Chains A and B, each alone.
Chain A
Amino acid sequence: MRHRALLGLPLILGLLAAPAFAHHTFSVEYDKDKCSDMVGTLTKVDWENPHVYFYIDLKDANNQVSSWSFEAVSVAYLKRSGIQRQDFIDNMGKTVTARACLGKNASIKRAAAEYITMPDGRKLKVGSDYEHGQN
């Protein structure tokens, strides 16, 4: 239920002092200038904390397939955002699109996910919008 703010609340507008989604500093680990749509086959989800991880088989330029790990926010964050483990289970083996940012160590096949788009077109926000300043 949403309500209007009442006079007398001590603050609200333009706030910056929130605890962040993440418990770490995104910019140390990932590169917000290397975010892209990554399309492949969803193969697995680890429903755990401090991050949910899901895995996608991606093809490189030489058609070699490798498994990538995508970091999402925590279980609690996803559930309170209306995203369930079943959303991933229902789409195993199907083609999905992750909007994600690469790690600064490119040799590790990990990326920070912002969104995942399921085969039915649903675009789920599973991480911060790093490209637009969230951390």
Chain B
Amino acid sequence: MAAAQDAADALPKGGPAPRAADGHPDLSGVWFPGFTGGYSTDHPAAQSQFDPKVTPEEKPAFQPWAAAKIKSMTPVELELARPSVNCQPRGTPGMLLLNPYPTQLVQTRDELIQLNELNTNFRVIHTDGRPHTKNPDPTYAGDATAHWEGDTLIIDVIAIDERTWNNFVGWFHSDQEHVIERLTRTSKNYLIYQVTIEDPKVLAKPWTSAPRMWSLGHEDLEEYYCTDNQELQQYGSLKDKDAGSSK
């Protein structure tokens, strides 16, 4: 019944993707994770970005030392270390991979501007073919260069701040992380995001996500500064109790 309701709520394709003056697809829009172009507390399944039965997503294959490091953390330690619990920016690729809130894309001739509701932050991706910055400083968004391959925008990102995680359960990364993002507007109402993460220090092999679906909404972004998280008090009080337990 719930699944039938999900299908009934899905946006139609809405026709072909609009094109920019230069002929490339125009990725501009306010995009919501999932398939209804919006969300509510009454319908959380609408945010689902892929069906694991249709497009299963592999688990990251960690180097033994990295797997051991993650496994050594208790559940409370994991919570306390989570960037999301600490109001840290999701960064790249978390701003699209781990983001339950809408994101607005604004495409100009030479840039793609991403405005994230979550944490009220942004990134600017140059699409004019310029190379990576020389000796880039690490940042949450990372240093990006982008180009079109057919109708897909390929965003190549390095120099990502090591405080970001790639999942909610401890997938940290090294200074060698290299992220390749693919954005494809498959129709007017749907945007597909797929990312490959290379990190030879932490991963035994590169990891590629399932194609993640975003759908076109028609609302303004809300202001969302993450400020006062009372959970830190609760987690802190549980830390001693939790110490020594295993996952």
Contacts and interface: CB of A to CB of B under 8 A. Distances in A.
Interface of A: 2-6, 8-21, 23-25, 28-29, 46, 48-51, 53, 69, 71, 73-83, 103-105, 107-108, 110, 125-128, 134
Contacts, number: 171
B229 A51 contact: yes
Contact of B48 (A17, A73, A74): A17
Contact of B41 (A3, A75, A81): A81
Nearest to A127: B41
Given A15-B50, A18-B100, A28-B75, A128 B227 contact: no
B158 interface: no
A125 B8 CA distance: 22
Contacts of B224: 49, 74-76
Q: Which 5 A-B pairs have the closest CB atoms?
A: A15-B48, A19-B100, A23-B84, A11-B51, A18-B47
Given A10-B55, A10-B211, A76-B117, A18 B229 contact: no
Contacts of B9: 2-3
Contact of B234 (A14, A81, A105): A105
Interface of chain A: mostly helix, strand, loop or mixed: loop
Interface residues of B, number: 65
A77 B50 contact: no
Contacts of A110: 230, 233-234
Interface of B: 3, 6-13, 33-35, 38-42, 44-55, 57, 75-76, 78-79, 82, 84-85, 87, 98-101, 117, 168, 190, 192, 210-211, 213, 219, 222, 224-231, 233-235, 237-238, 241
Interface of chain B: mostly helix, strand, loop or mixed: loop
A109 to B, nearest CB: 11
Given A5-B7, A28-B75, A80-B39, A17 B51 contact: yes
Nearest to A128: B44
Nearest to B117: A76
A117 to B, nearest CB: 15
B230 A69 contact: yes
A13 B13 contact: no
Contacts of B227: 48-49
B10 A16 contact: no
22 contacts: A14-B51, A15-B49, A15-B51, A18-B34, A19-B100, A21-B41, A25-B168, A28-B238, A29-B231, A29-B235, A51-B229, A51-B231, A75-B224, A76-B101, A76-B222, A79-B222, A80-B219, A103-B234, A108-B237, A110-B234, A127-B41, A128-B44
Contacts of B225: 49
A11 B82 contact: no
A119 B45 CA distance: 30
